[in-house]
Structure 1
Amino acid sequence: MREYLLTLCVTAAVTYLLTGPVRKFAIVAGAMPEIRARDVHREPTPRLGGIAMFFGLCAGLLVADHLTNLHQVFEQSNEPRALLSGAALIWLIGVLDDKFEIDALIKLGSQMIAAGVMVVQGLTILWLPIPTVGTVALTQWQGTLLTVALVVVTINAVNFVDGLDGLAAGVVCIAAAAFFMYAYRIWYSYGIEAAAPASLFAAILMGMCLGFLPHNIHPARIFMGDSGSMLIGLVLAASAISITGQVDPDSLFGGSERNTVHQMVPVYIPLLMPLTIIAIPAADLILAIVRRTWRGQSPFAADRGHLHHRLLEIGHSHSRAVLIMYFFSALIAFGALAYSVNAASMWIVLGVVFLSAIGLVLLLLPRFTPRAPRWAEAFVPPRYRRRRAATATSAEGEVPAVADEDDDEERVRVAVGVSGVNGATAVGPRSRAR
């Protein structure tokens, strides 16, 4: 565990320290696209944050290769090299897209090629342990198609959810944390060494996201761009593929295949675990494809119908919308993790139901904003105070003389945002160059 923590910390430190210089490089290189109709931010913000994340990945793999126990992963498996090859290819395509806006079909093709590169080097699904059936061996073509499909879906799911400051990095970090705990338990409790690469990939992915988040939380000073979102999506998919198709349950327990797979609940959970850790991004991806196809648009056409856009339309603030997405991602990922530990416990089901009810209340919170009594208005934020308006007589009649404090704050926010877009001088943190 100490070596995993050391690898995580080194990856996070390198990513964090490089993000600042990368931001300056992105500004000089002109990787600051104009504000688009679907964007939530109001000022041009540099991209290319994926550069720092990629070098954090390289640093994590380099450190792990020189550690006593983790070095065995590089000796016994070619998966770290396969991951690095695929990550380098997808990262280069992402950097070019952040600067020159590459066509969507070209990016899709590059994602397939990156997945194929990893398959050629051994990072592929060889068999699937299916409950009540047993271990199903896959042919080379079946394993290749399934691996490529999983990589492409995961990359695009993470890319689609990257719409608010800190959203994609936080959601993927939560997913990586849950998957690390799951993979480490498989390796440590069951002694399955084939789970070690997945644990290493998940630890490095956590470090990449944690190192980038301080620069990306609202208001973000830099975006990860496609160079970052596609990169972390590929690493997340590689973790799932590594543990799903490389562990043979028949070699661990005696008896029939059906009984063997039934005993190995933590092994066949990977069939569902990759879907649960990206449940929110995957749902957003499916809804976007259905919505755009129904309108007669291309599935890759951008719009403002994503889940995070809907949260903003309901009335949630930017920060609250991100936290709600964090909450549901953690609920699904760690709920599946708890189920893999003890599938027979009813308390796990009741806990998930209870937390889901809390999440529903959080979703509907803007529609049920409470108002404090007048005697307590001095102790609560302005948004919980009752509207007060004084009237002043004018030539045209009675008009409000004192506006509501909520309206004052909203006008200030709008004024600051407009001045930032028009290039005028603004006051506060939004006046910083991005």
Structure 2
Amino acid sequence: MTLFLALALLTAVVTFAGSLLVWKLSLKYRLYPKIRERDVHTRPTPRLGGVAMFVGILVGFGAAAFVSELGPTRFSNVAIIFENPAQILSILGAALLIVLIGVADDIWDLDWMTKLAGQFIAAGLVAWQGVSIVSLPIGGIAVGSSWMSATITVFTIVLVMNAVNFIDGLDGLVAGVALIANGVFFIYSYLLVQQTSPFNYFNLASLIAVVLIGALAGFLPLNWHPAKLFMGDAGALLVGLLMATSAIAVTGQINPGAVGFDQLFAAFMPIILPFAVLVIPLLDFGLAVVRRLNAGKSPFSADRKHLHHRLLDMGHSHLHAVLILYGWTAVIAVGCLLTYVFPVYFGIDAFWAFALMGVGFLVCTAVTLAPLGRRRRLAAAAADTQPIAEQPAPGAADAATRGEPAHEPSTGAR
């Protein structure tokens, strides 16, 4: 754990310094696009934060590789991760490709077909070198042939990349949601390896997760509202790529046949948790695809109807919308983690984890819908304070129903 924390801290410091440098250079050379109609921010803001994040991640991986070469120390078993250097290089190569595509899109606005093709190539690089879904935690069932495994892996990575990119619309949203999700996933992968390999806690999934945590933590201060720097497509796609890769790397480490019925849900966590921590991006992605296809548009065309936009339209402030999505992510991710931790480490039935998750859902729902109730109360108060309309003269209503002119009240004059 000490090494993981040191790697996260180093990556955070490098990313923060790199973000400051990228921000200053972007302002100096005007490396920022014009404000688009769907944008929420009101002033031109640099979008190259993904470059600083990538540099921080490179330094994090480089530091881990350096430690692996130190020889017989208490950190020497980290070398197991680097026994297959081609695997690490393929992940970093895919990350570099995604960052280059993202930077080009942030500067020149590439068409969606070009971006999608680049995403498939990057995902193919990861699957090509062995980071792929080879088995599922359902009795250790293998995923068919190697081609089927690679295909499922590639489509999973591309799906997660686009899901993360789709929610990148508010200051600090992607960085915070991914920070929470990766923090929970790192804890899960670390605890899982304690169960499956008690003499070696180091694994590829945890390394990717902790380095990404450092990059997100180092970038978030400049991305907090009002943001000085955006991560852009380069950063959002990079985050999605690494989150998907770490989830795929941990898949299949638990066999349900080796655990009791009370721990059965925990056996499926390698599949459930990666999607649970990404439930907000995946939900937004699915709704956007359906919405755009129904409108006869490309599923990758931009609009202003994402979940975060809807929260703003409901009456939430920018900060409140971001914090609400943080809350939903934390409740789902931590709740799923507790379904593993309670029975395995404390002997507590997983029911109590679901109960806590249900309470969290109720709280998040109440906070999310609060502006609607406040709007109804204001509308009711406004209706109560409106002046009563002037009553019609006696007989006017009856005359109107007969089509006759209303009689003026008599004044005694002729």
SS in 2 for 1:66: helix
| Cα contact 1:31–1:98 (8 A) shared by 2 | no
Q: Distance in 2 between matches of 1:212 and 1:259?
A: 41
- Deviations along 1:295-340, one digit per CA (max 9) or x if unpaired, are 1111111111000000000000000000000000111111111112
- Asked if 1:166 is matched to 2:168, the reply is no
Match of 2:114 among 106, 112, 124: 106
Aligned to 2:27: 27
- Quick one: which of 68, 78, 102 aligns to 1:94? 102
2:388 paired residue number:
none
Tell me if the contact between 1:129 and 1:136 (Cα under 8 Å) persists in the aligned partners: no
Q: Could you tell me which of 345, 358, 362 is aligned with 1:353?
A: 358
Inter-CA distance 49–239: structure 2 relative to 1 (3 Å threshold)? same
Which amino acid counterpart does residue 332 of structure 2 have in structure 1? Answer: I
| Partner of residue 185, structure 1 | 191
Structure having the higher Rg:
2
TM-score computed with the length of structure 2 as normaliser = 0.83
Aligned counterpart for 2:248 among listed residues 206, 220, 241: 241
Match of 1:268? 268
- Which one of the candidate residues 199, 206, 217 is aligned to 1:210? 217
Distance (Å, rounded) in 1 between the aligned partners of 2:359 and 2:311: 21
Q: Residues 260 and 195 from structure 1, CA distance in 2 versus in 1: closer, same or farther, beyond 3 angstroms?
A: farther
The Cα shift of 1:346 comes to 2.3
Give the structure 2 partner of residue 403 of structure 1.
Answer: none
Structure 2, unmatched stretches of 5+, are 68-74, 344-348, 383-414
Q: Following the alignment from structure 1 to structure 2, what is the Cα–Cα distance between the partners of residues 172 and 81?
A: 23
Shift of the 360–137 alpha-carbon distance from structure 1 to 2, 3 Å rule, reads closer
The alpha-carbon deviation at position 31 of structure 1 amounts to: 2.7
CA distance in 2, matches of 1:65, 1:322: 36
Identity %: 41
Q: Report the CA distance between 1:267 and its aligned residue.
A: 4.7
Q: Give the TM-score normalised by structure 1.
A: 0.79
- C-alpha distance in structure 1 between counterparts of 2:258 and 2:195, whole Å: 20
Q: 8 Å contact 1:82–1:122 — kept in the other structure?
A: no
Q: Report if the CA contact (8 A) 1:195-1:243 is conserved.
A: no
Q: For residue 82 of structure 2, what is the amino acid of its counterpart? A: E
Residue matched to 1:315 = 315
Match of 1:342, SS?
A: helix
Q: Is the 8 A contact 2:178 2:216 kept in 1?
A: yes
Give the whole-Å Cα distance in 2 for the aligned partners of 1:284 and 1:228.
Answer: 18
Distance, in Å, in 2 between the alignment partners of 1:83 and 1:134 is: 25
Matched to 2:331, the amino acid is L
Provide the rounded CA distance (Å) in 2 between the counterparts of 1:104 and 1:261: 47
Number of equivalent positions:
365
Aligned 8 A contact 2:190 2:201 in 1: no
Distance 1:34 1:356, change over 3 A: same
Q: Distance in 2 between matches of 1:83 and 1:313?
A: 39
Query: Structure 2: how far apart are the matches of 1:77 and 1:207?
Result: 24
Q: Which amino acid aligns with 2:165?
A: N
Shift of 1:137: 4.1
Q: Given the alignment, which residue of 224, 229, 234 partners 1:222?
A: 229
Secondary structure in 1 matching 2:268: helix
The whole-number CA distance in structure 2 between the counterparts of 1:129 and 1:319 is 39
Distance (Å, rounded) in 1 between the aligned partners of 2:260 and 2:205: 20
Cα distance in 1 between the residues matched to 2:142 and 2:254: 10
Structure 2 CA distance, aligned partners of 1:334 and 1:91?
30
2:141 counterpart SS class: strand
Alpha-carbon deviation of 1:233? 0.7
Show the counterpart of 2:44. 44
| C-alpha displacement of 1:27 | 2.9
Q: Superposition pairs for residues 234-383 of structure 1, below 5 Å?
A: 234-245=241-252, 247=253, 249=255, 258=257, 266-342=266-342, 344-369=349-374
